Amino acid sequence: MTSQAFWWLLGLVALIAEFLTGTFYLLVLAAAFAAGGLAALAGMEGIAQAVCASAAGLASLVVVRRLKRRLGPSDPVADDPDIGQPVTLISEHDGLWRVAYRGTQWDARFTGEPPGPDETALIAGREGNRLLLTTHPTGQH
């Protein structure tokens, strides 16, 4: 196997792994391997190919880290489609509730006051497998 084929194969494997896992850093690795392949295509020796791949990888890593820092941390609420969805209250015991949601029963607790007679319980978040609930007046939902 030629060194050029080696670099392209490594890049392809890293790219496929990135598609399967969604890890953006594997895309950086694939770009670094592609730079090694381009160096091999240009006729550079093995050490020069590795230096090109390393330089491209480090440069890509710096760019990704700057973009990630600029975008800030992701909002977990935006990632959870259950947030804001209503649940059916089944029973309460010592401040913990049993609720029905999406065809099954869940353990839940309220983040504030439990609901009054004219309020609906909504999912506000998660704590492991326990739902965190908040109240919302029925007429406003």
132: nearest Cα among 116, 114, 108, 96: 108
Per-chain mean pLDDT for the chain: 87
Contacts of 41 (CB under 8 A, 6+ apart): 4
Residue pLDDT, tens place only, 65-113: 898 888 877 665 567 788 889 998 888 888 899 999 999 999 999 988 8
What are the residue ranges spanned by the domains of the chain? 3-71, 78-140
Least confident of 37-41, 47-51, 57-61, 83-87: 83-87
Is the pLDDT reported for residue 40 higher than 80?
A: yes
Is pTM beyond 0.85? Reply is: no
The gap from C-alpha 131 to its chain's centroid, in whole angstroms, comes to 20
Q: State the fold for domain 78-140.
A: OB fold (Dihydrolipoamide Acetyltransferase, E2P) (2.40.50)
135 neighbors 116 (Cβ within 8 angstroms): yes
